Chains A and B, each alone.
Chain A
Amino acid sequence: AQSVTQLDSHVSVSEGTPVLLRCNYSSSYSPSLFWYVQHPNKGLQLLLKYTSAATLVKGINGFEAEFKKSETSFHLTKPSAHMSDAAEYFCVVRPPGGYQKVTFGTGTKLQVIP
């Protein structure tokens, strides 16, 4: 069984300050992990993904995430928040091997204060 926990339902940061969105996963084997962003009334856009290559993954729009197996974490970070980063962020886990279903976290709403 697999699961993913997003520890914060809501994060608020000031524009220009760092962003940290936390994600912990549970999986029997080394999974693939993803971060998606969803702007209001829009679909999901892939920010980045980890698929057992480099543990530090760089994505679009300045975001990056580090896979830490010992901590079963895949936190999303960005050095400096921009107003356009305000959105809902989902951490997603997928088991290895073949065509497996993904499991979504409950989401973290990021608010950026001017």
Chain B
Amino acid sequence: GAVVSQHPSWVICKSGTSVKIECRSLDFQATTMFWYRQFPKQSLMLMATSNEGSKATYEQGVEKDKFLINHASLTLSTLTVTSAHPEDSSFYICSARTEYNEQFFGPGTRLTVL
């Protein structure tokens, strides 16, 4: 299957700082990528849909100014958590959709905000 990578795999930051997470489709082009958030022992919740060359579509209740998404190329989407606070600590997972409508998931990024 296709491979999606995320970087970093884990990050610890101080409250008030910003953190950028990268999501890359390694062997295919993805016009659409998705960002999910997963709290401990819970399911994945869709945060936003990232479309190459256009603005991301955010789910209800997700602050677009706090979670900045940039899908600058067909293989890269970035999620920036701005002014991070401890409640933003979570597991962030991206996925990329192929031209055949298959969705592949990245390995996730563990964010801890102190």
User: Are A107 and B43 touching (Cβ within 8 A)?
Assistant: yes
Does residue B44 face the partner (Cβ distance < 8 Å to A)? yes
Main secondary structure of the interface of B (DSSP, over half): strand
Interface residues in chain B, defined as those with a beta carbon under 8 Å from any beta carbon in chain A: 1, 4, 6, 32, 34, 41-46, 49, 91, 93, 95, 97, 101, 103-108, 110
* Residues of the A chain whose Cβ atoms lie less than 8 Å from the Cβ of B43: 90, 104-107
Interface residues in chain A, defined as those with a beta carbon under 8 Å from any beta carbon in chain B: 36, 41-46, 90, 99, 101-102, 104-107, 109
User: Are B46 and A101 touching (Cβ within 8 A)?
Assistant: yes
User: Are A90 and B44 touching (Cβ within 8 A)?
Assistant: yes
Question: Assuming the A-B contacts A43-B93, A90-B44, A107-B42, are A99 and B108 also in contact, with contact meaning beta carbons closer than 8 angstroms in the complex?
Answer: no
User: Are A42 and B32 touching (Cβ within 8 A)?
Assistant: no
Q: Residue on B with the closest CB to A107?
A: B43
